[in-house]
Amino acid sequence: MASNEIPDSYNDLVSLAEDAADGAQTHGVAIGLSQNTEAKIRTDLITLIGDPTAVPPVPGKQGIFTAAKSAKPAKTLLKNQAERNARAFATTAVNILKPHLGTQWNSQWQAAGFVSGSLAIPDNPLPLLGQLRDYFTAHPAQENAPLNITAALAQAQITALSNARSAANDSNTAMGIAKAERDSAQRALYKRMSGLLAELSQLLTPDDPLWYAFGFDRPADGQQPGPIDDLVLTPGSAGMVYADWEDARRAARYRVFKQISGTDPAPVQVANAVIESEYTLTALPSGATVQITIVAVNDAGEGVLPATATMVVP
C-alpha cells in the first residue's frame, strides 16, 4: 500500500500543493471536494510562495525570508567594518595622547576613558569613543586633525558604528520574523495537504486513478515508484534527442527505452540505471520517428505509469 506521506521539505511540499491545486481545479466539483477546495489550497500556497503575476504582485513568505536572509551578511559586514574603524581610531588616539598622558596607563588616562588600568582597546569601542570625544572637546589643543583625531571625528565614528549596529540588529530581527512567518505558512500548507489527503480518502476508492491528478499515489499502489510526469523531448544535433522528465515519487533510478518507427517491433532498452531525471539519446536515424519511454524503478519494482513521448529525430 502506498503511504502518501506529506513531504516536510519545502520543494516537495510546494510541488505536491501545485499538483493538488490543479487536480482540485479540474476534478474538485465532480468528486464533491468541499473542505480543501482549489481556492483554499491556492490561498495557502500563495501565502508561502507568492504570486508575481498578481496585480499588485503578492510576495510569498519564502521569498521574504530569502531576501531577509540574503541581506543579513552585508549588514553584519558593515557592522564589523565600522567596529574595526572605531578601534583603529581609538588606537591612533592613544598614540597621540601618550605624549600628554604618559606612555603607560596611569590615573590621567581615566579622563580619556581608560578606567580599567589598561590602554587596551575594548572589543566594544563605543563607550570609549564617547569618552574620547568628550576629552578632545575639553582639550582641543591635543587634537590632531592631520591624523583625523578630533572630537568631531570621534562623534562621526560613534554615529557610523551606532548606525551600522542598528542596521545589523534590524536585519537579524527581520530575518527572525521572516523565518517564523515562513515556517508558519509552510506548516499551514502541510496541514492543508494533510486535510486534502484525508478528504480524498473519503471521496475516492483506493484504486481510483484520480489520486494521481492531485499529486498523490493511489493507496492501492505498492511501494513501487509513482507516475512520471512531463516527459519532454528536445532535438539536439543530428541523431540526438534530449529527454527530460519530472522525478517520480520513490524512484531510485530510471530505465530508458526507444522504439524507431518501422524498425523496432517493440521498445528497446537503451539505459537501465539512470539516476538523474534526464538522458541524451544519440546515434538515432535522422528523419525517423522515435518513441521514448521512461520507466521509474526501485527495489519494489517498476512504476505503475511510465511516460512516453514521440518526435522526429533531427
Catalogue all structural domains in the chain, each as residue range(s) with its CATH number. 1-221 (no CATH), 232-312 (2.60.40.10)
CB atoms within 10 A of CB 17: 25
Q: Which residue has the cell 486534502?
A: 196
Its pTM stands at: 0.71
Question: Which amino acid does the sequence have at 57?
Answer: P
Q: DSSP for 174-192?
A: HHHHHHHHHHHHHHHHHHH
The DSSP secondary-structure symbol of 68 reads: H
From first to last of its 314 residues, what are the pLDDT tens digits of the chain? 567 889 999 999 999 999 999 999 999 999 999 999 999 999 999 999 999 999 999 999 999 999 999 999 999 999 999 999 999 999 999 999 999 999 999 999 999 999 999 999 999 999 999 999 999 999 999 999 999 999 999 999 999 999 999 999 999 999 999 999 999 999 999 999 999 999 999 999 999 999 999 999 888 887 888 889 889 999 999 999 999 999 988 899 999 999 999 999 999 999 999 999 999 999 999 999 999 999 999 998 998 789 999 999 99
- Dihedral in degrees, nearest 10, Cα atoms 59, 62, 66, 68: 70
The runs of H, that is alpha helices, within 3-125 are 10-31, 38-49, 61-101
Please name the residues in contact with 29: beta carbons below 8 A apart, sequence gap of 6 or more: none
- Please give the pLDDT value at position 2: 64
CA distance 108 to 219: 83
Q: What pLDDT is recorded for position 1?
A: 56
pLDDT at 229: 82
What span, in angstroms and rounded, lies between the C-alpha atoms of 293 and 136?
81
- Cis bond leading into 56, ω under 30°? yes
